[in-house]
Structures are given as C-alpha cells and as structure tokens.
Chain A
Amino acid sequence: MPIKISKETADEQIRQKVKEISGEDFQKCYQCGTCSGSCPMADQITVLPRRVMALLQLGRKEALEEANTHWVCASCHMCVVRCPRGIDIAKVMESLRQLTLRKNEDIINPSEISKEDTAKLPQVAMVSGFRKLTS
C-alpha cells in the first residue's frame, strides 16, 4: 500500500525524542532487513524491525504507536550484533517503550500476577519484566 509522505505526516518530535533517549541515529539505516531476518520474535510482531526503522525515518508516529514490536522485543540484541550499519536497534526499541512508560503508563500490572505464577517465577523474571514493562 502506497503511503503519502509530506511535512504533515512526519512527526519531528518522535524522531527527536527517540534520538535523545536512544542516543542512536536511525537515519543511518539503509533498510537491508538483516534485523528483521534475525529477530526471534519476527512472527509475533506486527511490524518488523526494518520497517520500524523506516517509520522512524519518516516520523510516522501513529504507525509506530500502533506497532507491538517494541512491546514484544525481548532485548536479545541479535539485530544489534548483526546490523551492518552499527545501529543499536535494541536501544531504539527501548526508547519507543520509554515514550509510553515515561508517561507513568504500565504495560503489565505487577500486583495482578497470580499467586501460582509468583510461586514459580524466578526473581530475575520479575526484576527484568518490571524494568521493561512498568513505568
């Protein structure tokens, strides 16, 4: 599906914010798709990482917000070690998460984890999960 690009469709603020929080220059991405090919969550995400990078370059805020990519990303860094442009895509994903988390919005509610799950979960799951998915 063709998309219309204009000054109106490009949100400069999200581009700036992501650059600030991640410290990464997604502009360097030349769309080779190695990240998408390396992503273990590829069949679980609505937008592949290559496309996320393209959406960022175009400042497509709404499309980025609709994507579940950064919420399914497990920060495994496979894309990072393979990116021929040396972009830390995991940091870009983190910044997309932070855009929501920093508004004091949570993705999971720690108090809602069942007693049964708590009895089984290793502490490392809760520490890392809360870090990544709560504000």
Chain B
Amino acid sequence: MTEVKAVEIKAKLIPIYIMGKKYEVPETLTIMKAIEYAGYQYIRGCGCRGGVCGACSTVYRKPGSYKIMSGLACQTVVEPEMYLTQIPFYPAIRSTYTFEKLTGKPEEVFDLYHELFRCVACNACSKVCPMDVEVMDYIAALKRGDIKAAAEISFDCIQCGLCASRCMGELPQYHIAQLARRINGRYLTPQAEHLKTMVANIEAGRYQESLTGLKVMDINMLKETYTAREMEPATGGEDWIPKENIGL
C-alpha cells in the first residue's frame, strides 16, 4: 500500500483583467470562480453554474488580437492576460402574443418582429455566440419564412443575449428564435398520436384511483411504496416493459 501524503497543491496564479482592473487568479478557475476569487459577489448574472441557463455570458479579448471572444463565465477557464467583462443582461424586447392564436405562418413572425428585415448579414451575432449557433443563418431562414430551419439552427440557444448586444440591425435574435422553436414544436412538427390517447385517458380518470390511494396513505406506507416502486434497471434495454404498465 502506498503512503498517501497530504501535499499542498498550489495552482499557478495568472493575471487577468476584470472590467479593466488587474487581478491574480489561479489558472485552473473558470471565469465565474475567478471573478468570485477576485472578491466580487454574484447577485445577478449567475444561474445554474452548469452551462445551460445563459445568465453569465462573458466577452473578452486576448492580447495580440482584435477579436472579441465570448463564453459562459461558468464554463470558460481563465487564460493569462484575458481582458473581460460579464454581460449579465442585455435589453431585448420580447413581443407579446397569444400563442394559441398563432397558426404558424411566417407573416405572424414578421408582424411580431418587423426588425427581422433590418439584418445586414454582418455575422457579428454568429461570431459572438458562446454556443456556436449560426445566428445569422437562422435570421436568414426566418426572413425567407422558413420557421422550421430557424428552429433547428437555433436549437442550442441558451438565450444569453450576446447576439442582441452585437447586432447592427438592433434585432432581439434570441427572442425571435424562441418564437420560431415554439411555432415549430406546436404547428410544424407532426403531433404524437399516443399523446392524444394518453390525455384522453387521463381525462377519463385513468389515474384517479391510484391518486386517491396515495392521498390517503400514511407517511410510512407512502415511503415504503416509494422505495418499492418499479424502476427501469440500468441494464433494461429497449424491450424492457414495466410489470404494471400503467403509463402506456
């Protein structure tokens, strides 16, 4: 057995610039942790810390390049001489609509977002997107009325708003893309038939009995039932079917 020694590992400190001020931070940190290490406290501009909520979009530059780089503060590791600021929010107006009243026509999108037609294809949006979404391409698709293509191209969008911050045409791209995805999901993709059957079953009281049973169950019995519930085994495979096939 090898002896385990407690070794103090000291991460190398590197200089970064946060909003123009220089800080020495451990090189292993993400931008978010580096900002906290430097003494800032997050009140806004930080959400899931897992790269999906889009609250911590950050723009930065590196010496020797004119390029504007971007990333999510919670996902991007600091680099020496990084010159950064976090853009926790960028104003972009989301048009209001009653979704049920839409029918999926391109003109409905045009009406809610006329500014679509101010895009000049400068591509600043795609270049700044931390999720590598081809923003310019989905705007191009929407201008020609192809909502489906726009929904598909924008699928990885996390609504961080960096595209809107860089837009020459003053578009709120990510809100428009969200509308496109909603319309696509509701009106343009085939609806699952079994979902309709399921909803009808529920409305007809399929789960009423078991639900009432749970409601009156005492706490210990409830815990026992929960622990004993049937779960799909890790090795289940595709043809696994639950014994109590209540969900289908």
Contacts and interface: CB of A to CB of B under 8 A. Distances in A.
Q: Consider the complex of A and B and state whether they touch directly, i.e. have CB atoms less than 8 Å apart.
A: yes
B144 A123 contact: yes
A108 to B, nearest CB: 10
Given A110-B117, A110-B118, A127-B117, A119 B111 contact: yes
A115 B111 contact: yes
A126 B117 contact: yes
Contacts of A131: 118
Contact of A126 (B110, B144, B145): B110
Contacts of A134: 118
B22 interface: no
B114 interface: yes
A31 interface: no
A interface bracket (residues with beta carbon within 8 Å of B): 10 to 19
A109 B105 CA distance: 23
A86 B110 CA distance: 40
B117 A118 contact: no
B115 interface: yes
B115 to A, nearest CB: 6
A6 interface: no
Contacts of A119: 105, 107, 111
Interface string B135-179: 000000001110000000000000000000000000000000000
A111 interface: yes
B67 to A, nearest CB: 27
B111 A110 contact: no
Contacts of A127: 117, 143
Contacts of A67: none
Interface in B81-135: 105, 107, 110-111, 114-115, 117-118
B111 A118 contact: yes
B236 to A, nearest CB: 50
B49 to A, nearest CB: 37
A111 B114 contact: yes
Interface string A75-112: 00000000000000000000000000000000000110
B206 to A, nearest CB: 42
A123 B117 contact: yes
Given A123-B143, A123-B144, A130 B117 contact: yes
A32 interface: no
B87 to A, nearest CB: 22
A130 B111 CA distance: 14
Nearest to B116: A126
Interface string A115-135: 100110001001100110010
Contacts of B105: 119
B114 A123 contact: no
A132 to B, nearest CB: 12
A113 interface: yes
Nearest to A114: B111
B91 to A, nearest CB: 15
Contacts of B144: 123
Interface of A: 110-111, 113, 115, 118-119, 123, 126-127, 130-131, 134
A-B pairs with lowest CB-CB distance, top 3: A110-B114, A126-B117, A118-B111
27 contacts: A110-B114, A110-B117, A110-B118, A111-B114, A111-B115, A113-B111, A113-B114, A115-B111, A118-B107, A118-B110, A118-B114, A119-B107, A119-B111, A123-B117, A123-B143, A123-B144, A123-B145, A126-B110, A126-B114, A126-B117, A127-B117, A127-B143, A130-B114, A130-B115, A130-B117, A130-B118, A134-B118
